């Protein structure tokens, strides 16, 4: 085959395709289009792509393994900050969070604020899962709290919202801890705002009054001491722009899937 032929061939096919489309338009039906080999090829490759995207999304929605009571670790280590350290947090801790409220705002139609009592009165999910920290330890614990999805629904996410930011009450030097997840994880059935752990009220060191459990990801995504949840179109507006405290300072992956 000459160099020219190679170039001409796709052009012929394109011309054929253009002719078929014009013909189909004249006939006023899709049948002629469907019978055209080039059109069929394009359609079937789009379908393959769609199937692959579908599979990716199905993987993201798969449940993390849940364990039984007997699998629970006798000791669940506390890691990172073991308390919030803002003046506001210290006051709430002293008041046992009686006057604390979780703010839900940002790209939502209806900003809201929930007391701990309100969060505890919502339908909750209990799950025994394994927490994996990048530092090389794991622990199996039982978590309880409302699913995040319905809480976001109550506030009606704006169509432009893509990510959920979790603002925490602890700082490393001047930098507040924060984390972010996308809407697939935000609406994952095992994504909860845990106020309970191992059958008790969430201990301070594990993130009181509430901490995120997003069970398909590593430990550093499980934000503790959450004060505020903010919907946004882009997480690069926060911190140093990489979506979380450890992502910013240590280049940890934003998506820490396990
Ligand atoms: N606010 C806040 N959340 C945080 C951290 C932290 O230092 N501050 N550490 C993260 C890391 S690296 C891990 S492994 C877990 C530890 O949770 P634990 O203390 O319940 O074991 O919390 C994550 N969430
Ligand atoms: Mo961790």
pLDDT tens digit string along 226-245? Answer: 999 999 999 999 999 999 99
Question: Is residue 256 pLDDT above 80, yes or no?
Answer: yes
- Contact call for residues 227 and 237 (beta carbons, < 8 A): no
Asked if residue 94 has pLDDT above 50, the reply is yes
Given this model, what pLDDT does residue 240 score?
A: 98
Asked if residue 47 has pLDDT above 80, the reply is no
Q: What is the pLDDT of residue 3?
A: 43
217 lines ligand 1 (CB under 6 A): no
**Once rounded to an integer, what is the mean pLDDT over residues 161-168?**
98
Question: Cα(205)–Cα(79) distance, rounded to whole angstroms?
Answer: 8
Claim: this prediction has a pTM higher than 0.85: no
Sign of CA dihedral 113, 119, 124, 130: positive
C-alpha span between 250 and 74 (Å, rounded): 31
Ligand 1 atom at shortest distance from the alpha carbon of 168:
1
Pocket test for ligand 1, best of 79, 132, 256 (most atoms within 8 A of CB): 79
**136 CA from centroid of ligand 2 (Å):** 8
Q: Which tens digits make up the pLDDT trace of 203-214? A: 999 999 999 999
DSSP 147-176: BHHHHHHHH-B-TT--EEEEEEEEEETTEE
Residue ID of nearest Cα to ligand 1 atom 8: 81
Nearest CA, atom 17, ligand 1: 79
Tell me, what's the pLDDT at 55? 78
Sign of the Cα pseudo-torsion (144, 149, 151, 154, in order) = negative
Which residues contact residue 198 at a Cβ distance below 8 angstroms, ignoring those fewer than 6 apart? 72, 76, 141, 142
Q: How many residues does the chain have?
A: 258
Q: Name the least confident of 30-44, 108-122, 137-151.
A: 30-44
How far is it, in rounded angstroms, from Cα 209 to Cα 203?
Answer: 8
Report whether residue 119 contacts ligand 1, using a CB cutoff of 6 Å: no
**Mean pLDDT over each residue of the chain, to the nearest integer:** 88
Nearest-ligand number for the alpha carbon of 207: 1
pLDDT band at residue 133 under the 50/70/90 scheme: very high
C-alpha 223 – ligand 1 centre gap (Å): 6
**For residue 163, how far is its CA from the centre of ligand 2 (angstroms)?**
21
Q: Which residues contact 197 (CB under 8 A, 6 or more apart)?
A: 76, 141, 142, 143, 144, 203, 206
Among the bound ligands, the one closest to the CA of 81: 1
**The pLDDT of residue 18:** 46
Residues 62, 65, 70: CA angle, nearest 5 degrees: 160
Q: For ligand 1, is residue 81 a contact (CB within 6 Å)?
A: yes
Residue 148 is predicted with a pLDDT of 98
Residue pair 223/176 in contact (Cβ under 8 Å)? The answer is no
Measured from the Cα of 212, ligand 1's closest atom is 24
Residue 162, φ and ψ in degrees, nearest 5 = -125, -25
The finding on whether 84 has its CB within 6 A of some atom of ligand 1 is: no
Q: What confidence score (pLDDT) does residue 35 get?
A: 61
pLDDT at 90 over 70: yes
When pLDDT is cut at 50, 70 and 90, the band that residue 52 belongs to is confident
């Amino acid at each position: 085959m000459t160099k020219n032929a190679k170039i001409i061939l796709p052009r012929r096919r394109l011309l054929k395709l253009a002719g078929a489309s014009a013909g189909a338009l004249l006939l006023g039906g899709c049948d002629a289009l469907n019978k055209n080999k080039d059109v069929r090829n394009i359609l079937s490759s789009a379908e393959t792509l769609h199937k692959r995207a579908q599979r990716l999304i199905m993987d993201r929605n798969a449940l993390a393994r849940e364990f039984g009571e007997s699998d629970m670790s006798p000791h669940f280590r506390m890691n990172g900050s073991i308390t919030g350290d803002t003046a506001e947090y210290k006051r709430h801790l002293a008041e046992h969070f009686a006057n604390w409220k979780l703010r839900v705002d940002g790209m939502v139609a209806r900003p809201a604020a929930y007391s701990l009592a309100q969060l505890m009165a919502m339908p909750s999910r209990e799950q025994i899962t394994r927490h994996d920290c990048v530092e090389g330890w794991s622990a199996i614990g039982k978590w309880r709290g409302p699913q995040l999805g319905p809480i976001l629904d109550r506030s009606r996410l704006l169509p432009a919202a893509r990510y959920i930011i979790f603002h925490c009450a602890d700082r490393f030097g001047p930098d507040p801890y924060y984390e972010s997840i996308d809407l697939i994880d935000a609406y994952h059935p095992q994504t909860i705002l845990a106020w309970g752990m191992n059958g008790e009220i969430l201990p301070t060191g594990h993130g009181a009054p509430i901490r995120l459990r997003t069970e398909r990801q590593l430990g550093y995504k499980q934000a503790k001491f959450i004060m505020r949840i903010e919907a946004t179109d882009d997480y690069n507006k926060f911190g140093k722009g990489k979506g979380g405290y450890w992502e910013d300072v240590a280049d940890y992956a934003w998506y820490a899937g396990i």
